Each structure stands twice: as C-alpha cells, then as structure tokens.
Amino acid sequence: MRHLVLFAVVACGFAVGSGGTLQEAAAVDKSYRVVDGTADARTYNGYRRYHAGCNHCHGPDGVGSTFASSLVDRPLDIEEFRRVVRNGRSSGGASVMKGFANDPNFAPYIDDIYAYLQARSEGALGRGRPKRVEP
C-alpha cells in the first residue's frame, strides 16, 4: 500500500514538475485543455461553432432553454453526442432536432463542440467567451 501511495505522489510530481499543474495532470483523459481559464484552440473553436448554431436552441453556454435541453447539466458521452448531432433526435413529442451530418459548418467540428461542452460541464470553463491560447 505504501508503495502505491509513493508511486502516485511521484507520478503527480513528475506531471507537475514537467511544466504542468496538478489540474493538467488530472485532465489527461479530457477532450479539452483549459489552464487558468484559457482554452486550447480546439475547445475555443468548439465555443465558436456552438455559438454559431447550437445556442439558438440549447441556450448560451449550453445551459438549455425552454426549447431544448441543457448540454452541460447531463452531458452525453462522446459517441452518443456524435450520433445525435449527425442524425438528429426526436423525443416523440413536439421536440425535434435535425441532424447536421451534411452541414460543413458543424459536421467536421463535432468533437470540438464536445470539447467545449465537456469543459463547461466539468467547470473548467465558465460562462461567456473563454480566453484562448495564442498560436
């Protein structure tokens, strides 16, 4: 047990000591990278793409509206998200979302939009336009 704890401490020390933060070390499996409120290019692009089309129904910053559900309160996993965005969804009632599989403004950027929404859902990004890493 003591060796396992020591290994975890050493591993985090290497991650933090190599120029990262503990937050970055814990976010290795995330589709986004946010450091001190600054989003990587992919996540920032997701913000832009989301607000170019998705926010009309799902509300600003993914919080939902009276028309469509929140995308940050109960996020879908990446595969389900891709399927819904590409194929659309009908709840059986009056709510219907068309698919975007053939839309060149959204289809190639589904993973970027997901990265933005994942960062919002996990509290890595707040509401509003995020700062972005400069190229």
pLDDT tens per residue, range 57-68: 999 999 999 888
pLDDT tens per residue, range 14-67: 333 444 443 443 445 688 988 888 899 999 999 999 999 999 999 999 999 988
pLDDT at 26: 41
Q: Which region holds residue 59: left if phi is over 0, alpha if psi is between -120 and 50, else beta?
A: left
Q: SS3 of 97, please?
A: strand
Asked whether the CA dihedral 135, 86, 115, 128 is positive or negative, the reply is positive
pLDDT at 6: 36
Whole-model pTM?
Answer: 0.75
Asked whether the CA dihedral 79, 54, 87, 97 is positive or negative, the reply is positive
Structure token pair of residue 47:
């913000």
> Angle formed by the axes of helices 78-87 and 110-121, to 10°?
130
